[in-house]
Structure 1
Amino acid sequence: MRIVMLGPPGAGKGTQAARLADHFGIPHLSTGDMIRHAIASGTSVGISAQAAMERGELLSDELIVTFVDERIREADASMGFILDGFPRTPGQASALDAILAQSGSAIDSVLELMVDHAVLLERILKRAEVARLSGRTVRRDDNSEALNVRLHAYAAETAPLSKYYQDMGILKAINGLQDVDAVTQSALSVLRSGRSSPMTAPTLS
């Protein structure tokens, strides 16, 4: 099973991707983990990425697609995977489709967590407070101003991507306003039935 997870910052897609990966016995692949894996392994693309980051440069789409291509060819991903943080644009999605087509496979489902703006802000601020109380470093972007910027950037970036997968008939909406266990069960139900879960449309204003 090959799944793509979509969702705005704070929606919990990393948590849900990890849970679904455990359930299906397939790897949870995040962009950050793939980059770190390639650098630690000393691959040519990892060396290129490390050099670019040391120069303070953003990694190109071409480089990120290469990371994904290398990672999903590894043995543990032969039966499927869950992608978290990639693709981010229709261009990246098209590149992913082309990679998978080479082996006669394709993305099976795209799960998009739908969460209201106000709920996201509450989650982010709670995360910051928990970190503060436990003596851990609070993320610099865990505040309302940064979240607003990230949400609007996500909406602008992801709206075309959602349509891309919707047009393919594989986009499934998940009500991310539920508690963690309920979201997981909704995701599993959606994957079994192919129907989106009841949800409240997100507010990004």
Structure 2
Amino acid sequence: MSGVLTIQILINGITIADSLKLYSIQTHSNASGIAQAQITFVLDVASGSSAIPPEADAWIFGDQLDIRAGYDSRDETIFKGILESKTFISESAEGSRLEIFCQDNNYEPIANNKTFEFKFGENVFSSRLTLENEGGFSGVVSTQGNSILVPGMEVNLQNFGKDYDGERTISTVNHHINSGDWLSEIDLS
């Protein structure tokens, strides 16, 4: 995957205003739990105005949220859920921020027959793999952001060495979007 990172955040099916300055997105999903997302906006608060922009002030608990990310405007959903909380933070050194926390109580892994290949030296940013007594391994692999990676999906590791090459199942996916960069981190079991 390459190209220009594009992001869409929809609340109740409506794309949020460009006037809100996105700082970061963190998502977490696993095969046996509740998917969660945290979105942070930097607020440009002018003297004498409301700290929270009107469009963000209108968001209420239970609103439907859809986070889409991709490259060159080919965005795919990386999280769908409901708004659970909003936190306003104001610090003199760092300015003001609005953090939105969302979760999806109905998360189900997407069943697919695709296998994603991780090749050491090609599409792996970092890895930490632990060889276990039974000859298997588990660990964490980070790669360029990719919406195809979902819990329950099979991945094939190559060029890591005979102890670590082979197929594993994704147990957890974390997407980190910050400063125009998208990193996908997966836990393998």
Instruction: Work out which of the two has the higher radius of gyration on C-alpha atoms and give 1 or 2.
Output: 2
Of the two structures, which has the highest relative contact order with CA contacts closer than 8 Å and spacing of 6 or more? 1
TM-score range (shorter-chain normalised) is under 0.3
Q: Which has the higher strand share?
A: 2
Q: Which has the higher helix share?
A: 1
